[in-house]
Amino acid sequence: MSADMRRRAVAIVSAALLVIVAVGAIIWAMLLPEPWRDVPYNATNGTDAQPSSGSEHPEFTGPDKYDLLNAWNNLHTGLGREVLEDGVVSDDELAEVRTAYNECLSVYGLQAQPIDSGEGEVVVTVRGSIGSQEKNEIIRQCGVESDYVTLRDVASKGGGHPSLSVEMPGL
């Protein structure tokens, strides 16, 4: 077999492999989930949410449906999903999530405490010593991992939660 024939054979095999890889990539991309397809287009109000059949999230409706879906997709805990399932975060539900947030903080010797008659909060060190940068990172981490940040933001859009105007460091 001459060198010219070998080059042609290599070129043909390379082209065939390239076509096979391209077709495989297209098929793989078609199989990726498309969460936006499950969001209903006929919204009525922001508080109606019925679990859809075959969907991993409730069918949020209303003007806040995309914000609620985004919040749902950012939740990390079963408690967070249970709280947001109806599309509304009540004061009692937020208090329950805040308890989980405080449990996470307590592992690091920190505790979130309300200030100004509940209109804000401050995170204090209750044991040990910790630098401010590390403290801010722990506050951010616990806020995200406990779903407190996400649900606090959802609740603040619904009003009636004055303590939610406090900014968390790094968020």
How do residues 42-59 score in pLDDT, each as one tens digit? 444 444 444 444 447 788
Higher per-residue confidence, 36 vs 10: 10
Residue 79 in this model has a pLDDT that exceeds 90: yes
Among residues 124, 119, 166, 171, the alpha carbon closest in space to that of 145 is found at 171
What is the C-alpha separation between 36 and 74, in angstroms, rounded?
15
Task: Read off the amino acid at residue 67.
Answer: D
What is the C-alpha separation between 105 and 79, in angstroms, rounded?
17
Q: How confident is the model at residue 22 (pLDDT cuts 50, 70, 90)?
A: very high
| Mean pLDDT, range 146-160, rounded to an integer | 81
- pLDDT of 128: 83
Higher per-residue confidence, 168 vs 33: 33
- pLDDT of 105: 92
5 contacts: CB under 8 Å, gap ≥ 6: none
Q: Are 168 and 139 in contact (CB under 8 A)?
A: yes
Q: Are 99 and 86 in contact (CB under 8 A)?
A: no
